[in-house]
Amino acid sequence: MESIDALPPQARFALRVVAAGLAHDDAARLLAAAPDAYATLLRTAAHRAGVALPSPGSDAALRDAALAPLVAAARGPSARRPATRCPQADVLRAFAAEALAGPLLLATAEHVADCPACLDALVRLRREGPPPAEETARPVPGRRRGASVACVALALAALGAVAWLLLRAR
Ligand SMILES: [Zn+2]
């Protein structure tokens, strides 16, 4: 079987994050890969590793069972040294929140595939949910309530105006 390290970066990434405990859905979303593209990526990786996958469209559990040896191999240490330096914490957070795109997304995925420390950090961030920066960016509940009170007042005023126009039209 071909080593995990010899697979293309996105396949290495997918297998390493699944081996670290995330779901295939998470791996696909992190890679911003459509279901078809993700399935092709797994199929190519399996083919190169000499593993036969069930036909496309068959049960995901069957696919996962066929992939089990690859995922098990991905739990082992990486012989590759990351080609890039560890991303800044905010880049890793953005990656976990599916907020990266393009070359930065691909470069970060490749780094994480080959860097156990960043893989751990990513899995932790992903499990913790949205990063704190996003929490604080959300509207404060009090303000939100204020806004909805204003909306209700506006709606009542509009209703009043309509009622007045209807009465006047009689
Ligand atoms: Zn790293």
* pTM as predicted: 0.74
Q: Say if residue 163 is in the same domain as residue 85.
A: no
pLDDT score recorded for residue 60: 86
- Which residue carries 């509940």 as its tokens? 141
Q: Say if residue 164 is in the same domain as residue 105.
A: no
53: containing domain: 4-133
Q: Say if residue 152 is in the same domain as residue 83.
A: no
Q: Say if residue 66 is in the same domain as residue 30.
A: yes
Q: Say if residue 121 is in the same domain as residue 40.
A: yes
Q: Where are the alpha helices (DSSP H) in 20-59?
A: 24-30, 35-48
pLDDT score recorded for residue 140: 47
Q: What distance in angstroms lies between residue 85's CA and the mean position of ligand 1's atoms?
A: 6
Q: Say if residue 94 is in the same domain as residue 147.
A: no
Q: Say if residue 113 is in the same domain as residue 165.
A: no
Q: What distance in angstroms lies between residue 157's CA and the mean position of ligand 1's atoms?
A: 58
Cβ within 8 Å of residue 78, ≥6 positions away: 4, 5, 16, 113, 114, 115, 116
pLDDT score recorded for residue 87: 97
Q: Which of 20, 2, 1, 29 is nearest to 115 (CA)?
A: 20
Q: Say if residue 42 is in the same domain as residue 125.
A: yes
pLDDT score recorded for residue 7: 94
pLDDT score recorded for residue 167: 72
Q: Say if residue 44 is in the same domain as residue 110.
A: yes
Q: What distance in angstroms lies between residue 120's CA and the mean position of ligand 1's atoms?
A: 9
Q: What distance in angstroms lies between residue 170's CA and the mean position of ligand 1's atoms?
A: 75
Tell me the residues surrounding ligand 1 (ion) with CB < 5 Å: 86, 115, 118
| pLDDT in 10s for each residue of the chain, 170 residues | 678 999 999 999 999 999 999 999 999 999 999 999 999 999 999 999 888 899 887 888 999 999 999 999 999 988 899 999 999 999 999 999 999 999 999 999 999 999 999 999 999 999 998 655 555 555 545 544 555 556 566 677 777 777 777 777 76
Domains held by the chain: number? 2
pLDDT score recorded for residue 144: 47
Q: What distance in angstroms lies between residue 116's CA and the mean position of ligand 1's atoms?
A: 7
Q: Say if residue 38 is in the same domain as residue 106.
A: yes
The count of other CB atoms within 10 Å of the CB of residue 42 is 25
Q: Say if residue 88 is in the same domain as residue 150.
A: no
Q: Say if residue 151 is in the same domain as residue 107.
A: no
